[in-house]
Amino acid sequence: MTFQQDSRSLCAALAAGFTLALACTFSFAQDAATPAAAPATAAVATAVNTVGELATVPAPALTARAWMTLDVNSGQVIAAQNLDESVEPASLTKLMAAYVVFDAIENNRLALDQKVPVSEKAWKTEGSRMFIKVNSQVSVDELLQGVIVQSGNDATVALAEAVAGSEDAFVTLMNEEAARQGLHDTHFENSSGLPGPTHLTTVRDLGTLAQNLVTRFPQYLHYYSQKEFTYNKIKQNNRNRLLWADPTVDGLKTGHTQSAGYCLVTTALRDGRRVVSVIVGAASDAARTENSLKLLNWSFQNFDTIKLYDNEKPAVTARVWEGEVENVGLGSSTPTWVTVPRDKGDQIKPVAQYTQPLIAPLKAGTKVGKVTLSLDGRVLREDPLYVLADVPEAGFFSRIYDKVLLLFQ
């Protein structure tokens, strides 16, 4: 073959390859936006409402209007009754009041050593009291102890006025924060928990609020485990009796009105695992305490919470095309925990679905699919899949090579 013939053959091959690459590029412009189809199955797995549905040991029989138990690490509801029924929160309202105050402190709008003037309205607020005096100056730190340890309505109103100027404006902040947290069935009329026709919530929302509070503000959790506080020479004990009964309990808040009954949101930390229980509408202080302890013990003894994935351990390693590397991890930058009945962690079945093909450049944090976690044929949860590392685009010839290879996939 002559040099001229070799040149013609080479030109023809390059032209064909270029045409092929263009066709491939056009094809993937359509395919890249299409999520990977789920594999065909004989039956569609149904999702569990609570992890307890898969347990062999049933939840304890409780005497309360509504209740739930939640694993804070995984965010999963372990068991519940009347989870979304409207209930009165009573002084459990102060969980949200404290959350808004903590947020103000963290954003330098308030300081723990700041002195707050006590208005006549705060001083006159009915219900449980810290016994602050009108026109006196009380520190934010003392007022927080009055709110959390003593459940003082007067202290709550004083803090509300310090943060927002008035209690009404503070309640607006509380409702805005409830909306941000997705507490769709919660509405507050006041900061302290006094009864009102639309002052309502659910145990689901209370559990979510408690989870968010202990997760975002662990630096203030010591207030909730404080057993007593003395102010104005008046000593009052924390009404959460579990602080004395169980050393693993470190919060959170009691509540009681005649219409709401006896309520308690409790949290305990055992071996690095945190659980929250919510009891609403119990008949007595003793009943809410006993019910809460039963729920906590059952939740810890019969369930495990295990870490499946994190930034170092992806949920799946996926093929990348036209990139400087061939594979990238997909998962979550934060740890993925899952709660299952005891000793069933090794039976979890993950199924990943993500956009295919993955074509560079890819940016870390881009959502590309989801992973479904199942146990015993039931869906425990679904989590988004994110790209865990940047993947730059490869050079021109490497990209052409991958385009050709993709034709045969």
pLDDT at 44: 53
Kindly give the residue spans of alpha helices, DSSP state H, lying in 125-194.
140-148, 153-164, 167-180
* DSSP classification of residue 87: B
- Do residues 163 and 170 make contact, with C-beta atoms less than 8 angstroms apart? yes
237 within a domain of the structure (yes/no): yes
Task: Give the domain-ending residue among 277, 305, 333.
Answer: 305
- Do residues 95 and 208 make contact, with C-beta atoms less than 8 angstroms apart? no
Please count the other Cβ atoms lying within 10 Å of the Cβ belonging to residue 245.
12
Following DSSP, what letter does each residue of 38-53 receive, concatenated? PPP-SSPPEEPSSGGG
Please count the other Cβ atoms lying within 10 Å of the Cβ belonging to residue 359.
22
Task: Give the domain-ending residue among 305, 322, 352.
Answer: 305
The answer for residues whose C-beta is within 8 angstroms of residue 125's C-beta and 6 or more apart is 153, 154, 156, 157, 192
78 and 121 in a single domain? The answer is yes
Tell me the residue range of the domain where 78 lies.
52-305
* Helices 167-180 + 93-106 axis angle, to 10: 90
**Full-model pTM:** 0.86
Look at the chain and report how many structural domains it folds into: 2
Q: Which residues does the chain have with pLDDT short of 50? A: 1-43
Active-site residues, by number, are 91, 94, 151
Task: Give the domain-ending residue among 264, 284, 305.
Answer: 305
pLDDT at 43: 47
The answer for residues whose C-beta is within 8 angstroms of residue 337's C-beta and 6 or more apart is 71, 73, 74, 75, 305, 306, 307, 308
pLDDT at 407: 85
81 within a domain of the structure (yes/no): yes
191 and 323 in a single domain? The answer is no
341 within a domain of the structure (yes/no): yes
